[in-house]
């Protein structure tokens, strides 16, 4: 391992949501400094001033910086992203909180691209409140894919051995069948196989592909996409020596826990994968963006405006996102070394 721990940038998300709170609660655990150097993108005093410290923890202190080049290992660091003072109303998003979310994300992403950070953990944004003339993306995944100039990326939900990725992400359900082309499906399967090897160290991954229609089309009775698109692609991967199986009817696949036989599952649209994942792993799940040249994770929940400001938010998912970012960074770093020095 390199002598420095990974430098993890934290974008703060929408300040009217629970992002600052789950970051704060995660940082109260001093053991975090043994696995990474956290770097918050925002003014720490403004973000955390109103949070009570845990009874058994010292008050959090940050090294406030203007430039991430001055990050101090073994300390809590914060990079100033804005000079204005925000008047925050928990649970009430505003143009100001949307602007802060954009500025935090953009600053962290620039530093990640410049090599000042090793990975990025993003707190939840409001996809609607974050929109601006210079920011027209339906979510973090689409922005980061564009910013890091990746041809494609993969939304990948992870909780230990439970891994579910999606072919299409933040698109209307009515548009999914038209987007589900053989080319797109091949690209996503390729990304999934590569990520399981590169990021999770699985040498010969087994993946399952779900069907689009009820009963996986019922031999064409309930839809033709399985026969026309999905099955031929799966067969080609199998002929090339990959362990790719399906298409499986989604309800029975999850209902019988068949997913446990595979290293990952590829769902064809957002809710097909995220509903079962969140039912099983909502408090611990992590959203990882596979296919990027950098490491990015996030909690699997949203802004939760309804409980913002009440100090009730569960930080487990954000903490898991930090751990996974460190693990994937370590896995990639190890794989990049010559075998003689591993």
Same domain, 240 and 256: yes
Residues 37 and 26 in one domain: yes
- Output the CA–CA distances (angstroms, integers) from residue 326 to 38, 118, 232, 233, 320, in the order listed: 11, 9, 37, 34, 10
Number of domains composing the chain: 2
Cα angle, residue 323 at apex, residues 143 and 302 outer, rounded to 5°? 45
User: Do 16 and 140 have their domain in common?
Assistant: yes
Q: What is the mean pLDDT of the chain?
A: 91
Same domain, 164 and 308: no
Q: Are residues 202 and 338 in the same domain?
A: no
pLDDT at 2: 46
Token pair of 64 as six digits: 């406030």
b/e 230-261 (16+ beta carbons within 10 angstroms → b):
bbebbeebeeeebebbbbbbbeebbeeeebee
pLDDT confidence of residue 256: 95
Tell me which residue range forms the domain holding 78: 1-150+292-342
Residues 127 and 200 in one domain: no
Query: Could you please report the per-residue DSSP string of 288-334?
Result: EEETSSSEEEEESS---GGGTTTT----HHHHHHHHHHHHHHHHHHH
The mean pLDDT of 311-325, rounded to a whole number, is 95
Whether residue 69 is predicted with pLDDT greater than 60 in this model: the reply is: yes
Residues 175, 64: one domain? no
Structure tokens at 113: 């691209």
- pLDDT, residue 60, reads 81
Q: Where residue 287 falls among pLDDT bands split at 50, 70, 90?
A: very high
Query: Is 233 found in the same domain as 188?
Result: yes
CA 15 to centroid of chain Cα atoms: 19
Q: In whole angstroms, what is the distance from residue 303 CA to residue 243 CA?
A: 37
Contacts of 106 (CB under 8 A, 6+ apart): none
For position 192, what pLDDT does the model report? Answer: 98
Q: How confident is the model at residue 342 (pLDDT cuts 50, 70, 90)?
A: low
pLDDT in tens, 183-225: 999 999 999 999 999 999 999 999 999 999 888 877 878 788 8
Q: Are residues 276 and 313 located together in one domain of the fold?
A: no
CATH number assigned to the domain comprising residue 66: 3.40.718.10
Give the residue among 125, 120, 123 at the shortest CA–CA distance from 109. 120
Q: Which of 235, 263, 283 is the last residue of a domain?
A: 283
Instruction: Give me the pLDDT at residue 56, please.
Output: 44
């Amino acid at each position: 391992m390199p002598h420095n721990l990974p430098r993890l940038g934290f974008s703060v998300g929408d300040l009217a949501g629970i992002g600052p709170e789950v970051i704060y609660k995660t940082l109260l655990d001093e053991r975090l400094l043994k696995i990474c150097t956290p770097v918050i993108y925002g003014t720490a005093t403004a973000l955390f001033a109103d949070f009570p410290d845990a009874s058994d923890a010292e008050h959090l202190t940050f090294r406030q910086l203007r430039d991430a080049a001055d990050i101090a290992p073994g300390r809590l660091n914060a990079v100033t992203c804005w000079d204005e003072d925000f008047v925050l109303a928990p649970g009430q998003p505003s143009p100001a909180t949307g602007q802060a979310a954009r500025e935090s994300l953009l600053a962290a992403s620039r530093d990640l691209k410049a090599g000042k950070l090793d990975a990025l953990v993003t707190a939840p944004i409001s996809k609607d409140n974050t929109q601006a003339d210079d920011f027209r993306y339906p979510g973090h995944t689409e922005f980061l894919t564009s910013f890091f100039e990746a041809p494609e990326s993969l939304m990948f939900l992870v909780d230990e051995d439970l891994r579910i990725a999606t072919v299409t992400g933040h698109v209307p359900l009515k548009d999914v069948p038209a987007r589900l082309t053989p080319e797109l499906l091949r690209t996503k399967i390729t990304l999934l196989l590569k990520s399981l090897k590169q990021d999770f160290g699985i040498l010969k991954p087994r993946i399952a592909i779900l069907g689009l229609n009820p009963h996986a089309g019922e031999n064409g009775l309930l839809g033709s996409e399985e026969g026309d698109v999905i099955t031929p692609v799966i067969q080609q991967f199998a002929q090339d020596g990959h362990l790719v199986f399906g298409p499986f009817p989604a309800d029975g696949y999850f209902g019988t826990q068949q997913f446990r036989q595979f290293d990952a599952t590829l769902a064809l649209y957002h809710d097909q994968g995220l509903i079962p994942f969140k039912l099983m792993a909502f408090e611990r799940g992590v959203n990882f963006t596979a296919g990027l040249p950098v490491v990015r994770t996030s909690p699997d929940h949203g802004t939760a405006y309804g409980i913002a400001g009440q100090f009730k938010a569960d930080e487990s998912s954000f903490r898991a996102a930090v751990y996974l970012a460190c693990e994937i960074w370590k896995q990639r770093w190890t794989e990049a070394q010559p075998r003689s020095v591993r």
